[in-house]
């Protein structure tokens, strides 16, 4: 349950940050050249991808650290 909460918080955090920052952030910036997306949606699709990727990375780090702590 805590893992889902951590993923959602960081997904929202990185998605909003990607929308508000004037600079495109990796890996969402890769989508702009790869797919023929309408200009008005490029930023939002990039932001959602960034939220998914970085939310998953933070969740995986939390999962690994949590397992190491419970093993000790």
pLDDT per residue as tens digits for the range 27-71:
877 877 788 878 888 888 889 999 999 999 999 999 999 888 888
Query: What residue ranges do the domains of the chain occupy?
Result: 2-71
User: Are the C-beta atoms of 53 and 31 separated by less than 8 Å?
Assistant: no
Angstrom distance (rounded) from CA 36 to CA 47: 16
User: Are the C-beta atoms of 47 and 19 separated by less than 8 Å?
Assistant: yes
Angstrom distance (rounded) from CA 47 to CA 52: 9
pTM of the model: 0.83
Angstrom distance (rounded) from CA 49 to CA 30: 10
């Amino acid at each position: 349950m805590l893992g889902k909460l951590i993923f959602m918080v960081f997904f929202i955090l990185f998605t909003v940050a990607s929308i508000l920052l004037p600079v495109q952030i990796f890996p969402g910036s890769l989508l702009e050249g790869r797919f023929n997306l309408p200009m008005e949606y490029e930023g939002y699709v990039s932001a959602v991808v960034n939220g998914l990727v970085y939310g998953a990375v933070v969740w995986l780090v939390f999962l690994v650290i949590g397992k190491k702590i419970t093993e000790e």
